């Protein structure tokens, strides 16, 4: 080949190579842009599906502002008490949290234990049946559910005992939602499930010495001075009636000087609208100070290990990172799902499909879930320390 021809061929090859490189770069750029668009569409699509299906909250009752709520916990370190009246904090918290809880956890806002291969509903049923057993009441007995949420535990106790249960809550939206759920049940259930808007620190309008039993399903965590609400229960119960309290308490594993424990507790208090958490002995003293005789007490969550042994799925495990198993999976509460929610909801908020308050609330909910389950993982806290007590006959 002549030198001139060789040079022309080389030049053509170089140009062809350059064109190919530009084409590849354009394809890569186009591919990256397409991938970005696909991911964006997927994020928006998943977010819209979550909202449409009720998977996450799409509004906050009363236009509750999560920023104002969080200010109450400003300066709280470790197991410190917040700066506001407990009932006001609880009302505001459930305006923010109620739908997150319902669609992430169900209509019963509490924990429990179960076998590793069993669904979440088993842990809920285990705890509610335990309360029903310890109340020792029968058909149409008058019972109080103090801090009832949207009535999940109440309905569980009614199914197990036939009791006539009145649920007390500080939050009007919870009463509305609880009545909606109950209205879809049988007439037999509707006749036994009732709701009353009350501050359980100062209950008004209910008859004294009237009720055959009362229970708290993890609800006293919202007040620092639990003696005050226990006194209200004491006043309303008949002599000889039983109190069953499933209590958030610190365990011997709680170390107030441990930096990790302090941060986990701070996250829990803020993210769950909780008051300062007492120790076992402090809580027992508050029950006695209200006038009750304590019959028995123990950490209900320890029963899971006794019953199931190595097959026990502890109360905190759903909220900590773990390998998903379809037999037990609680998808909305799984960290790999809930950790994405603020980002997905934030994208929807940016294009005006959701209020900005919603992704901010999702972040607070995650803080509470991480802190609380972390405390459980290190053996520093239990959400269901059982206290069985009785109002004396005289």
Q: What helix, strand, coil percent values describe the chain, rounded to 5?
A: 55, 15, 30
> What is the rounded distance in angstroms from the CA atom of residue 229 to the CA atom of residue 147?
10
Sign of CA dihedral 282, 287, 293, 294: negative
Structure tokens at 174: 């919870």
From residue 165, how far is each of 103, 145, 288, 362 by CA, in Å? 24, 7, 25, 32
Coil/strand/helix, residue 133: helix
Tell me which residue of 77, 236, 215 sits closest to 151, measured CA to CA: 215
For the full predicted model, state whether its pTM sits above 0.75: yes
User: Are 226 and 283 spatial neighbours (Cβ–Cβ below 8 Å)?
Assistant: yes
**Whole-angstrom Cα Rg for the chain:** 27
Neighbours of 70 (CB within 10 A): 17
pLDDT per residue as tens digits for the range 340-351: 999 999 999 999
Sign of CA dihedral 287, 293, 299, 304: negative
> What is the rounded distance in angstroms from the CA atom of residue 273 to the CA atom of residue 50?
24
Q: Which residues, given as ranges, of the chain have pLDDT below 70?
A: 1-62
Residue 110 C-beta-side C-alpha neighbours within 13 Å: 36
pLDDT per residue as tens digits for the range 246-296: 999 999 999 999 999 999 999 999 999 999 999 999 999 999 999 999 999
> What is the rounded distance in angstroms from the CA atom of residue 218 to the CA atom of residue 244?
11
> What is the rounded distance in angstroms from the CA atom of residue 386 to the CA atom of residue 38?
50
User: Are 184 and 153 spatial neighbours (Cβ–Cβ below 8 Å)?
Assistant: no
Confidence (pLDDT) at 21:
57
> What is the rounded distance in angstroms from the CA atom of residue 156 to the CA atom of residue 24?
63
Confidence (pLDDT) at 56:
47
For residue 194, list its beta bridge partners.
Answer: 166
Sheet bearing 142-146, strands edge to edge: 193-197, 164-169, 142-146, 211-217, 237-250, 381-390, 293-299
Structure tokens at 38: 């696909």
> What is the rounded distance in angstroms from the CA atom of residue 220 to the CA atom of residue 246?
8
């Amino acid at each position: 080949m002549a030198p001139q021809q060789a040079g022309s061929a080389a030049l053509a090859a170089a140009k062809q190579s350059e064109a190919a490189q530009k084409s590849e770069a354009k394809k890569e750029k186009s591919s990256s842009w397409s991938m970005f668009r696909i991911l964006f569409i997927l994020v928006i699509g998943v977010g819209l599906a979550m909202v449409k299906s009720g998977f996450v909250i799409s509004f906050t009752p009363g236009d509750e502002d999560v920023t104002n709520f969080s200010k109450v916990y400003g300066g709280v370190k470790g197991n410190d008490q917040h700066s506001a009246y407990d009932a006001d904090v609880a009302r505001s918290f459930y305006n923010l949290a109620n739908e997150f809880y319902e669609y992430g956890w169900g209509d019963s806002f509490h924990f429990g234990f179960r076998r590793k291969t069993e669904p979440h509903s088993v842990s809920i049923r285990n705890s509610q049946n335990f309360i029903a057993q310890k109340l020792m009441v029968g058909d149409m007995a008058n019972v109080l559910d103090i801090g009832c949420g949207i009535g999940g535990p109440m309905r569980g106790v009614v199914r197990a005992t036939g009791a006539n249960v009145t649920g007390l809550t500080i939050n009007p939206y919870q009463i509305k939602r609880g009545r909606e759920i109950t209205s879809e049940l049988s007439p037999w259930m509707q006749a036994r499930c009732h709701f009353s808007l009350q501050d359980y620190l100062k209950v008004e309008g209910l008859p004294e010495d009237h009720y055959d039993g009362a229970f708290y399903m993890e609800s006293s965590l919202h007040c620092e001075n639990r003696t005050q609400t226990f006194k209200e229960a004491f006043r309303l119960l008949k002599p000889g009636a039983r109190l069953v309290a499933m209590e958030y308490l610190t365990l011997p594993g709680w170390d107030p000087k441990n930096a990790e424990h302090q941060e986990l507790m701070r996250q829990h208090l803020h993210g769950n609208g909780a008051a300062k958490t007492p120790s076992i002995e402090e809580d027992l003293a508050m029950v006695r100070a209200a006038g009750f005789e304590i019959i028995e007490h123990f950490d209900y969550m320890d029963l899971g290990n006794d019953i199931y042994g190595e097959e026990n799925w502890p109360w905190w495990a759903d909220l900590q990172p773990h390998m998903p198993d379809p037999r037990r999976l609680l998808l909305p509460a799984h960290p790999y799902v809930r950790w994405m929610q603020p980002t997905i909801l934030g994208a929807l908020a940016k294009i005006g499909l959701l209020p900005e308050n919603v992704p901010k609330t999702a972040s607070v909910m995650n803080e509470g879930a991480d802190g609380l389950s972390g405390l459980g993982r290190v053996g520093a806290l239990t959400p269901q320390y059982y206290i069985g007590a009785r109002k004396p006959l005289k």
